[in-house]
Amino acid sequence: MSLFIIEAAVVGLKEALKLWVVWLVMSAYLKDMGSPRLIRAFHMGIALTIALFAVSFAIASDPYVRTVLSRLTGYTFFVFFISSIAALLESTGTRLFAGLKPKEGIFRPVIALSTVFYFSPDIIGSSMFIRELSEMKGAYAAVYLSGFAGFALPFLLTALTLYKYRGGRTAAIAAIAPYFGTAQFLLFLSMVKLLGGGVKGFAEFSLIPMVQRGVMKFFHDFVHQTFVFLMVPDHPLLATTVWNFIGIFFGPNIAMAASLFILLAPPLLFLLKGATSPRGGTATPQGATGPGEKGAERRKLMASVRADRRKKAVPVVGFIALILIFYFSGGTGEVSRLYNPKPKPVVEDKGVIIIPLTDPTMDLMDGMLHKFSFAAEGKTMNMLIIKKPDGKLAVCLDACEICPPEGYGQREAHVVCIYCMTPIPVETLGRPGGCNPIPLNASITEKDIRVDVAEIIGKWQKVGGAGSVE
Amino acid sequence: MTGRKWFYHVLTSALRQRKGRVAVAVLSVGIASTVVVSAVGLSSGIRRLLGGELKAYGANMIVSKKGGHIDAAMLDALKGIAGIEEFSPQLYSPVSLNGLPVGPDGQVEMIGMTGAHSLNVSGRFPGEGEVLIGADLRAGLGLKTGDSVKLGGSVMTVSGFVETGGPEDKAVILPLPSAQRLTGLEGKISAVLIRGRPGTLDETAKVIASVMPDADVKTLRQVAGAEESFLRKIELLLALVTVVVVGASAISVSSTMSATVLERLREIGLMKALGGTKKGIGRFYLMEAVIIGAGGGTAGFLTGFVSAQAVSKGAFGSYISMPVYLVPVSIVTGLVIAVAASALPLRAALIEKPSVVLRGE
Amino acid sequence: MELIEIKGVYKEYETAVALRGVDLVVGSGTWCSVVGPSGSGKSTLLNIIGGLDSPTKGQVFVDGADLGALSEDALARFRRERIGFVFQQSYLIPYLSSVDNVMLAQYFHSMPDRLEAEEALRRVGLAHRLGHRPGELSGGEQQRVCIARALINSPRLLLADEPTGNLDRENTRLMLELLKRLHEEERFTIILVTHDPYVSKWAQRIVTMEDGKVIKDEPLYY
């Protein structure tokens, strides 16, 4: 239970930190733009978001909604990422929006709405998550409290320190401002999303796995459709070779490499372009102009242009470093932090699968996750069995209705869907729908568990993602 | 990027001009990082050798009897114990080899085993009338596969060699029944090496002790524990030496850097007159320190590596594998010493007013 | 406001008093000599004008900037953008070539530019000495490098402290001719401290100092 309290605090803290950090950089960025009205529009957006946040606590947590919100978070990341690329190209001279001159007045509502759009999926998802945590026995008030405490902490700290030293705030903003042009700012926003956008507590810290899986799915669908379209000939030898070839594209390694490429290519391109773009032009050409007014002034100008360009490259380099760090330590590591035992194969006995409660090698009542695999109709169907805190045994398929069946891992009091990283509290197992593992009707005797084979095959139809990855 | 390249051009010119001083500084830093690398490498490498003897068999428990032998019949009792995954009975006894004085009393250790398990054998495990020779003995006696050796009173053929870095290198290995016959200790064994299921060792040990009441049952921890405390003492000593050497090196580098800064006080005054800021000027000298530190650190890694291996081979008889992180550790040590040592004199010099410095002519 | 305005400047050390209440105004473009016996405080005055030293009392305005009010970094920036120095000792970095020495001044100002530095050295007649180290140059050539270095960032003010002190008569004349040519082309202000009457007569105005005070201040007419 104390784990839930900590999780709630961490989630609250994470959301508040996002708000706080974006506010700081936004102020630095807008300071150069000079318009106080834009800053006010931003504050209004924040106020709206916090209002939505408060309201969202009244909405019951629903796995479908959470999945949708999680997708929305992913989409906002991509929106800001793409616009940052557009801004990057713009800033290095590629004229994309030549001729587009938006009216001044349109910026304020755009900023307010974008702010809401940016923050609310995360915040609502997180509030739902906290609410779900709080529904655990006896943890109600404590969880909510710690969630709010985590949320309030950065603001309290800021109020105590920066505002006490007023100069501190302006100095901080002035120091940050030269590093963030429009492109850097948008990239920063998308990075904050990417690295802190998960709405599922501990199990999902960053969105990088989501990006990876999005790419994987995209490749899968694209390549599959292409080959179907091309109507691969029926020759058995050719078919096997072709399917093996396709298998390469489905492999996780290509998808991981592709997702890393997608994330890194634009910032790297920006750095490259920035390094080679023509020198800041002034009246006099480069070269032997001799000492004199023109010489020294020209050098000063060039030096300041260079310094500015170097400053603007710093956030980009930082993001690249962060992506790499998270990618190679967090992204795939999360899955390995889950306890995922290898399924033991079981066979049927007159249409029933019988699994003893204890045998020399295992004890189903030990509170750990147990998995069993059953082969039927050319597919491998996995089941999971785990003892719930109330003493009853949960018997389910190792798959849910929404995601491709990559199975579940266990983390303390949750089982986590490995595909979408949604944590399901063990206590709630047996409920159907959403990302819950599909429950099975099983008869539990003193010695064993009995499940009808027909039940397994029947329920497996419900598994998401068409039941198998080819 | 003429600015960056020119900066390094100036730096290298400055360093080239003071080759002697720079060499001394690099040497000091190198010595310090050598010691650091050796100390860390040794202590981590030796840790891995800990319990290596038992680990070579994949065992994590050992059953023996102080001052006596265990009846082989007891082995049956072990078969039923749940926590035991595998066990290997062994018989140890000194025998004379070839009638030659090889060991301290003219004898070598003989180990009787039931199989090669996870030993590093070149050739094959001996059968009836054959023997496996340890690597050190092979070198010492110039033996080849197929040679005949006289063991105790019998002649055996060499079937292969074994190298583990442990005591096996100086021993001969026979199949257990042959060993028992050779020593007249039929039906007896000196020890049983056991691989118990990890996580249940203590319970398994209790069960074994209850089944074999006369025997000593030790888990790897206990065997290694004695070595562990010894290792700790060594580590403390190493740490002490390291601290002293690093301190001495820092002082040496510091005095070199101070002398340098003093010589170049005029340069600093000039740069200030040219309008250089403390940061800009400091960058020059700090980068020199960085280059010295990195250079010394890299060289220190190489020498540290070599010296650690030398110590390990000399003291413990085998080479150790050194962790990769020692490379950055060495470089960082060099950098820290060089930069820290130059920071203080540099700061003092930068504070001086240019007119004071320039006037002192 | 004139280029240089000094009011009531005192400079005291623990053991001596170098300046006792100096007032001076120098207009832009003037070549001004400061003469006096040694110990009269002329070098001190020069250092204070250049921001290399600060007065114990008094105000110093150079090119509109109140030197006393500037932070150390601002002072450094002021120096590198508006002032060039030439000293009696050439103070060149011994392990760098002439070009590199000039580029050093560029480096602290903004960024080094080899072509510009080479052109500057050509202008002072050292086209054939670009790659030489100071040790390989004569006294006169060394001072010419210093002049190139002092002027590379187009300062408005050139401060020279006994620049010809180590040169023989011929080289002194050559150097002063060079300075005169550059002065006419670039129109910067020169304040040249010397104890050599021959050198002082090249200026447009002579300020005489003694015992830390200005005792005479007269223009020269050609």
Do B76 and B198 lie in one domain? The reply is: yes
Please indicate whether, in this complex, the C-beta atoms of C76 and B272 are within 8 angstroms of each other: yes
Do B238 and B343 lie in one domain? The reply is: yes
Say what the pLDDT of residue B181 is.
84
Of residues C80, C89, C103, nearest to B6 (C-beta): C103
Tokens standing for residue B41: 């490498």
- Answer for the pair A252, A172: CB distance below 8 angstroms, yes or no: no
Do B205 and B253 lie in one domain? The reply is: no
Do B265 and B346 lie in one domain? The reply is: yes
Do B16 and B116 lie in one domain? The reply is: no
Q: Is residue B162 included in any domain, yes or no? A: yes
Domain end residue (candidates: B156, B189, B214): B214
Chains that touch C (3 or more CB pairs under 8 A): A, B
| Chain B nearest CA to C222, separation (Å) | 34
Q: How far is CA C162 from CA A145, C35, C191, C203, in A?
A: 77, 10, 11, 14
Q: Is residue B61 included in any domain, yes or no? A: no
Q: How far is CA C163 from CA C174, C182, C207, in A?
A: 12, 15, 17
> Per the structure, how many domains does chain C have?
1
pLDDT over 50 (residue A461): yes
Give B92-120 pLDDT, tens digit per residue: 888 877 766 555 566 778 888 887 766 77
Q: Residue B239's domain spans which residues? A: 2-51+227-359
| Chain B nearest CA to C98, separation (Å) | 12
CA quadruple A204, A142, A157, A43: dihedral positive or negative? Answer: positive
Q: Is residue B29 included in any domain, yes or no? A: yes
Pick the closest to residue B330 from B285, B284, B290, B299 (CA basis).
B299
**Phi then psi dihedrals of residue B129, to 5 deg:** 80, 10
For A373-382, letters b (16+ CB in 10 Å) and e give ebeeeeeebb
Q: Give the mutation candidate from A300, A304, A305, A310 for the C interface (greatest C CB count, under 10 A).
A: A300
Do B183 and B243 lie in one domain? The reply is: no
Nearest CA in chain A to C119: A290
Do B259 and B343 lie in one domain? The reply is: yes
Q: How far is CA A308 from CA A155, A177, A374, in A?
A: 31, 11, 63
**Phi then psi dihedrals of residue A435, to 5 deg:** -95, 10
Q: Give the mutation candidate from C78, C116, C182 for the A interface (greatest A CB count, under 10 A).
A: C116
Q: Which residues of A are less than 8 Å from C123 in CB distance?
A: 290-291
Put simply, the chain C residues between 45 and 74 with a CB less than 8 A from any chain B CB are: 47, 50, 52-53, 72-73
Pick the closest to residue B192 from B89, B77, B261 (CA basis).
B89
Nearest CA in chain B to C87: B358
Virtual torsion, Cα A139, A143, A144, A146, nearest 10 deg: 150
Domain end residue (candidates: B186, B214, B242): B214
Give B269-311 pLDDT, tens digit per residue: 888 888 888 888 888 888 988 999 999 999 999 999 898 888 8
Nearest CA in chain C to B2: C112
Q: Which residues of B are less than 8 Å from C53 in CB distance?
A: 353-355
Q: How far is CA B82 from CA A6, B58, B208, in A?
A: 40, 18, 10
Do B237 and B350 lie in one domain? The reply is: yes
Tokens standing for residue C190: 């020169």
State the count of interchain CB pairs (< 8 A) between A and C.
48
Put simply, the chain C residues between 150 and 209 with a CB less than 8 A from any chain B CB are: none
Domain end residue (candidates: B156, B185, B214): B214
Contacting C with CB below 8 Å, chain B residues are 2-3, 6-7, 9-10, 13-14, 16-17, 266-267, 270-278, 280, 353-355, 358-359, 361
Q: How far is CA C193 from CA B191, C21, C51, in A?
A: 98, 18, 16
Nearest CA in chain B to C89: B361
Q: Is residue B60 included in any domain, yes or no? A: no
Chains that touch A (3 or more CB pairs under 8 A): C
Q: Is residue B220 included in any domain, yes or no? A: no
Whether the pTM exceeds 0.90: the reply is no
Lowest mean pLDDT of A49-63, A108-122, B80-94, B275-289, name the range: A49-63
| Chain A nearest CA to C15, separation (Å) | 42
Please indicate whether, in this complex, the C-beta atoms of A296 and C120 are within 8 angstroms of each other: no
| Chain C nearest CA to A185, separation (Å) | 28
- How confident is the prediction along chain C (222 residues), in pLDDT tens digits per residue? 788 888 888 888 888 888 888 898 988 889 999 998 888 888 889 989 988 888 888 889 998 888 888 888 888 888 888 999 998 887 898 899 999 999 999 998 888 888 899 999 998 989 898 889 999 998 889 999 999 999 999 899 999 998 988 888 998 999 999 999 999 988 899 999 998 889 988 899 999 988 888 888 888 876
Give B306-343 pLDDT, tens digit per residue: 988 888 887 777 777 777 788 888 999 899 888 888 88
Report the SS3 class of residue C206: strand
Please indicate whether, in this complex, the C-beta atoms of B6 and C80 are within 8 angstroms of each other: no
Nearest CA in chain C to B279: C73
Of residues A289, A291, A302, nearest to C151 (C-beta): A291
Please indicate whether, in this complex, the C-beta atoms of B275 and C77 are within 8 angstroms of each other: yes
Of residues C78, C83, C112, nearest to B3 (C-beta): C112
Dist CA A115 CA A47 (whole Å): 10
> Per the structure, how many domains does chain B have?
2
Tokens standing for residue A73: 């978070």
Contacting C with CB below 8 Å, chain A residues are 287-293, 295-297, 299-300, 302-304, 306
Virtual torsion, Cα C63, C69, C75, C77, nearest 10 deg: -70
Q: Is residue B56 included in any domain, yes or no? A: no
Q: Is residue B58 included in any domain, yes or no? A: no
Give strand pairing partners of A362. A359
| Chain A nearest CA to C102, separation (Å) | 11
Do B182 and B262 lie in one domain? The reply is: no
Assign residue C55 the CATH number of its domain: 3.40.50.300
Do B30 and B160 lie in one domain? The reply is: no
C152 part of contact set with chain A, CB < 8 Å: yes
Do B31 and B140 lie in one domain? The reply is: no
Q: Residue C93's domain spans which residues? A: 4-219
Q: Is residue B57 included in any domain, yes or no? A: no
